[in-house]
Structures are given as C-alpha cells and as structure tokens.
Amino acid sequence: MYNEKLENLIEMALMDGELTEKEKQVLFKNAEKMGVDLDEFEMVLEAKLFEKQKSIEQEKPKTTEAAPKSDKFGDVKKCPACGSMVQSFQIKCIDCGHEFSNIQSNTSINKLFEMLNDAEDTRKEDTSSNNPFAAMGNLMAQNIMAGTSKVDQKKMTIISNFPIPTTKEDMIEFLSLALPKAKQIGNFLTKDLAENKVHNSFVNVWRSKCEQIVMKARFSMKDDKKTLDDINNYGKELKIK
C-alpha cells in the first residue's frame, strides 16, 4: 500500500502487537515525509494493529485466567469480561459483546478548555510586551488582531494537536460543545465585525478537529449504530461528508 521502507517500519513496529508512542512518532514522521495523508494513515495503522493483535491472540493457548482490568480506556489491552485483545478506540468486545462504558478516557474536552484558558491567560503578557494595540484595549484592536496574535495562533495549535477522544461519551461531548465553535457567525456584512471576527478566525480549526472525530467514529464504531447515528448528525450539521 505504501512504499517498501514505510511498510517495513510498520511491520517492525507492530511485531509485538503493541504500538508505543515513540514508534507512532517515527511512523507518522516518515509518512508525512512521503506525502501520506496522516488521517488516512492513522486509520490504516489502527487496522493493521488490530489484525496483528488478533493474529497473536489466536496463536496463544486458551486460558481461563481472569483478564487484568484497567480504569482507562486507552490502557485496555484485553476485554475485562473474556480476556480477548482489544483494539484501540474499540467500544465493544467483538468476541463477547462487552461494552467499554463508564471508563475514563485519556483526554476530554474539559482538558482542552483548560489548556485554552491557560493560553488566554498569557494574552496580557503578550499585549503588554509585543503588541502595538495594547494601549487601545478596545474592540477595534481585537478586530484587527483576531486570529493573528501569538496567543490566538497558540490556541489554534492546541486545538489542532489535541488528541481525538477515545470513548463514545467523550466524542459526543466534544462534538456537542465544539459544534457552535465550528460554525461561522454573522452574514456577509457582519462576519468581520469585532464581535464576530475573533470567533470566525477559529472556525476552520474547530471544524477540522470535528471532522477528524467524525471520521474516526465511522471507522471504529461500525457496530454501534445508535452512537454512530448521533455522531453522523453532528457531521451533517457541519456538512462533513
């Protein structure tokens, strides 16, 4: 599917049926250099990891020992009910049907908002030391700086790099709170007004993150029609195909 070098790297990384953060960084770095779409690459990588884990599990002798439990979905390697291997982002065991619900995920939108608030708290330092509009302190200055200040650029980077939620509850929560931020406000005449321009400067980055979540859900939640329908409804709101 990819060139020989990248395929070999993938094979070596997945040899033990696990994918460390360091291995992911190396694979994504090489994929990016080769011009591979990173969202598509992530989905392919998850599928290959799942196939490798299933292959390893099938080769192991059956055991009746209880599987170790974890309180974080991102750490789950085996189903707590039957002990089968579990794919990252999987919401239900494909062997016994056990649902991974009420499990704390690694990330949530609350953490994202904390990071954005921390970045916003630095705005005063930014405006006092480097910003020529600091003395103005009014809507006109905000209008001119919208989306171009260091703080706004930092916040956009935080949103873009924030990990996709891993549980269906967090995905839906993220989409419900991010939806209004991913929509333009104002019309042709009013969209560039100060009170609208700051919001609209962030629309593309919020929409992109929502699109990543919708695409991830379509890939990992094929067996959960209700949740997938809910998430697809958010996708329709944002005209995500």
- CA angle in degrees (0–180, nearest 5) for 233-185-153: 95
CA distances from 192 to 139, 147, 158, 181, 205 (A): 12, 12, 24, 16, 18
Provide the β-strand partners of residue 72.
104
* Chain segment 6-37, per-residue pLDDT in tens: 888 888 888 878 888 888 888 888 888 888 88
CA–CA separation, 148 and 187 (whole Å): 21
| Residue pLDDT, tens place only, 81-116 | 676 666 554 556 667 776 655 444 445 677 888 888
Q: Using CA atoms, how far apart are residues 205 and 38, in angstroms rounded to an integer?
A: 16
* Closest to 81 in 3D by CA, of 69, 71, 90, 63: 69
Whether 200 and 186 have beta carbons less than 8 Å apart is answered as yes
Residue 86: what pLDDT?
61
Instruction: Give pTM, 2 decimals.
Output: 0.51
| pLDDT beyond 70 at 65 | no
- Residue extents of the structural domains in the chain: 4-60, 109-237
Q: What is the pLDDT of residue 64?
A: 44
Q: What one-character DSSP code corresponds to residue 72?
A: B
pLDDT at 76 exceeding the cut of 50: no
